[in-house]
Amino acid sequence: MSDPLVLLGEVRTALLPNSGALAAREASALLSLLPGQRVLMRERPLALAISPSSAVGVDCRLASTKETRAIGTVAAHAVLVGGRVAQSSACSTVVRAADKNRRPWSHYLAQVGTVEVWHRITEDAPAAVDLTEGFLGGSSATTLDLGSISDRLLTRVRTDRRLDQDPPVRSSATRLRWAARVAPPLGGSVRERAHLSFRLEDETTRSVQIIVPSIRELGFVQRFCEDLAVHDWLLSVLGAALSEADRPMPERDSTAALAPLLEQLVHLWMPGAHTPPKLRDLWTRLESDPGFTRQWTAQVGQLRDRLAVATLEALRSSKISTIQW
């Protein structure tokens, strides 16, 4: 098989619709999506469960400036963070086909998570850039749609009959599209560190482009993007809840909506805890710009202040009622 041109992926993140966080045994049962295959579990420093990967066959165009058809499979798995946050992650490696003849499906199923490009494309570096920009620019009904694959898997997990469908926090799902490629040599040398660009497309969609120095690092990108997606989702949920609390509405207790955030989600903030060591430097740059933890610290401080003020007001009202009585 030829070297990867680009890795394409998408991560959907949402709150698990359950009144309480799942224990390790419950998380393992929920993510046992393929009989006979093991769920990967980790307890420190934060509980993490990853389902086995399933293969989804695809035969479609890739979004690019040239006619590019690809055949192969997408690898998809589910993730549960802290027993509370659910994710679905779909990914595929794009490579050149060895020849122009279509192979039987047994050939493609033996390479889970790989799609082969049939049509003639340019040299590797320009082709990788073209495929990256095309994918992050948005998919259509006729191009590779990792979002649909990821969305179906997340729906399957979140509608499991073992969940009581009574989450303590109301929130929306977010979607993170990502593409990763190896950087070409610059001046005879290879980039020493990975680089990324992170962009907010709208309220729920983000796009990430990652450049790594060698093929070895490509295998770690998906796990980094899942870690990034969780923390971006936490920021989005907390920010949305604080904005909603700013809208005064009669007969609505904002404290009742904000308190569960402090109880259920704040402790999940651990940037880089589940990122492979070779890519943790990317978190250092995200902390510098745009400053993920600075924003999170400010939001959590605002949340605590609101709850403290609400508690003081409730105590004062209680004292006044007692005196009047």
Query: What global pTM score does this model have?
Result: 0.90
| d(C-alpha 167, C-alpha 86), whole Å | 12
Nearest alpha carbon to residue 265 among 98, 82, 88, 31: 82
Give the pLDDT confidence score for residue 245 in this predicted structure: 78
Per residue of the chain (325 residues), what is the pLDDT tens digit?
678 999 999 999 999 999 999 999 999 999 999 988 999 999 989 999 999 999 999 998 888 877 788 999 999 999 999 999 999 999 999 998 887 778 888 888 889 999 998 776 767 788 888 899 889 987 666 789 999 999 999 999 999 999 999 998 889 999 999 999 998 555 545 456 788 899 999 889 999 999 998 888 999 999 999 999 999 999 999 999 888 877 766 555 667 778 888 888 999 999 999 999 889 999 988 988 888 999 999 999 988 988 888 777 667 766 555 545 4
Helix axes 254-264, 215-245, angle to 10 degrees: 150
| d(C-alpha 198, C-alpha 178), whole Å | 9
Q: 3-state DSSP call for residue 2?
A: coil
Q: 3-state DSSP call for residue 15?
A: strand
Cβ contacts of 53 within 8 Å, gap of 6 or more: 75, 76, 77, 112, 113
Encode 175-193: b = buried (16+ Cβ within 10 Å), e = exposed: bbbbbbbbbeeeeeeeeee
Give the pLDDT confidence score for residue 192 in this predicted structure: 67
Give the pLDDT confidence score for residue 139 in this predicted structure: 63
